[in-house]
Amino acid sequence: MTTVINVPPSLDETSFEQVLEQVAPLPPDAKLLIDARHTTWASPYGLSALLTLGQVRDQARPTLAVPESDDTASYWARANFFHYADELFDLKGLVPRRSRAESQVLLEVTPISKSEDVHDVVGRIQQRTQQIIGKDLGLDPKAIVGFAMTLSEVCQNIIEHAGRGGWVMVQAYNWQKRLGRRVVVIAVCDAGVGFRCSLETSGHLATADRWDDAAALEAAVIRGVSRFRDPGRGQGLAGVRKYIGRWDGKLSVRSGTSRIAILPDWDDDVPLKENLPAFPGAQIQVTIPERVAR
């Protein structure tokens, strides 16, 4: 029997939880039809997380019904989503060819599994971010360098801790409804071991009074704890936190059944969510908004 999983019309970090709520109770070998026919918009997180879901459900290759909207399907094609989705899903519906015209996507969905991949994405994005961050978002030139550093560090989280490959995507768009400003968003998703398991390999942390996904996220994201005993470790996410703090951005990290967020004033999200549907690995989103005159 095939279970139909409905993908919301707008697929982002928040609404992806609806997908996971449907998937989490099912056995790993259950046959799934991921129905995205009525999806009309997807954020970088939505697309990266969808690929991660395909990666997780590898015991019974799921089917993905692609968006019916031409605009949406074309965008997913330009974002290179279908190229990787084809390896993980049986695609159902009309899959547009990827246009040869230069994509407006800042960084298409890109697999990350080794150090060279990080060099590649940082190199590719540098020129494009000068336009987006310096001109469109009106941020200081220092923010451009910091953005590349942030991208590098969140991608390295996959290489250093996940134990298997993941995906990164970067896009800038007008967040008119929610914020009334332009934003640039980095999404990095993997289906690896996640923060709790990664930190447990260091031994001493697992013996703490309270130890679960939320505690692991607090340790890694807030306190900069790493599974490595090297005192220089743990600086990556600390650096990302410093960067988003300086540029009024938002950082959220989901792992296992919890999600932690470093929140700016403009966002009404909660700092910690627990008891979410279980999902392997780590899913990170960084949002940097356009600067407004105060």
Partner 1 sequence: MTNHIDLGTVLRQTLSADLYSNLVTRPTGAAVRTQIETLLGETERSLTVIDFSHVSMIDFSCADEVIAKLLMRHGQKHEAYFVFRGVTDGHSDAIETVLERHGLALVVESDSGVELMGVLEELEVSLFRAIKRRGSASAWELAVDLNEPEHVLKRALDGMWRRRLLMRNDDDYTVLTPGMTGGEGQIA
Q: What residue ranges bind partner 1 (CB under 8 A)?
A: 115-116, 118-119, 122-123, 126, 141-142, 145-146, 148-149, 152-153, 156, 159-160, 231-233, 235-236, 238-239, 242
* DSSP letter (8 states) at residue 23: H
Query: Is the Cβ of residue 16 or residue 247 nearer to partner 1 in the bound state?
Result: 247
CB of residue 288 to partner 1, shortest distance in Å: 15
At position 204, the amino acid (one-letter code) is H
Q: Give the containing element (helix H, strand E) for 223.
A: none
Closest to partner 1 by CB, 81 vs 243, is 243
In the complex, the smallest distance separating the C-beta of residue 50 from partner 1, rounded to whole angstroms, is 26
- Residue with Cβ nearer partner 1 (68 or 160): 160
CB of 199 to partner 1, least distance (A): 17
- Spatial separation of the C-alpha atoms in residues 171 and 180, rounded to whole Å: 17
State how far the Cα of 95 lies from the Cα of 65, in Å rounded to an integer: 10
Assess contact for 11 and 46: CB atoms under 8 A.
Answer: yes
Kind plus residue range of the DSSP H or E element containing 257: none
Q: Is 292 exposed, middle or buried (CB count within 10 Å of its CB: 0-12, 13-18, 19+)? A: exposed
Q: Which residue lies nearer to partner 1 by CB, 15 or 129?
A: 129
Q: How far is the CB of 286 from partner 1 (least distance, A)?
A: 14
